[in-house]
Structure 1
Amino acid sequence: MQLVLGNYIKNQQMSLRLAKANGIINWFNNHSIALHLLYAEQHCTADQARALIRPCITWWTSHIMAIGQLIQLEIPYKTIVVRSQRELETAAGTKCDAIAKAQQILAIIQNQGFWDDMS
């Protein structure tokens, strides 16, 4: 099973999709303001917030779990992008490259095609 999953992940299109997903997960995990906004939004709609899972390169199942969590958080992600876009853009700082990276992550979140591909 792990070998089949490993070959699937190595597929170029799937690899690009996973890179985008990992980019979102890592960016939110590395910026406490953004992560706080995500958790606060989850607490508004549910009793308990879901954690972001970082996949481990040698543990193939972690990729499935990380993508599963990401898909379940689609609505909270989209909601905070709409409600708090300016806060998210400056969550990493006010330097141009940090804002550009934040805008890139937010664009991925707003792209419905990304979420359809993940499903």
Structure 2
Amino acid sequence: MELSVVAKLYNVDVRQAVLWSIESWNDLSSTTPVSCWKKTGLLDYYTCEYAEPDEDDGITEELTAMLSRLHASNPMSVDELLNPPEENVLMEDPTDEDFCRVFTNSEYEARSELTSVDATGEDGNA
């Protein structure tokens, strides 16, 4: 029995689901959750004021001043220090070969399970 393409797409492990969730959460702007809460009507957000966080708040200014005191030969910005680019990579983009390998392996496993069931008459999980 061959798995359908849709079934293969929904055959995702917990780790992959968590990585996708983290990536999605990090891609949200700060106004999205606020907007959603406003639309629910559960809280009185229309009388509350929401201030967008400033990029140049006091902490950033303080860190910038501290970094300038170091007199580093190759200084980095506060943003680079707090958010190194190599830490923002969740996973590499899959290649066509990666997709082919996943589907080929899944198809092979499905066929081997069917072969073992046909040969023994049992599914081997009992």
TM-score, structure 2 length as denominator? Answer: 0.26
- TM-score (norm: length of structure 1): 0.27
The structure with the greater share of residues assigned to helix is 1
Q: Could you say which structure has the greater relative contact order, defined with CA pairs below 8 angstroms and 6 or more residues apart?
A: 2
Larger Rg over CA atoms? 2
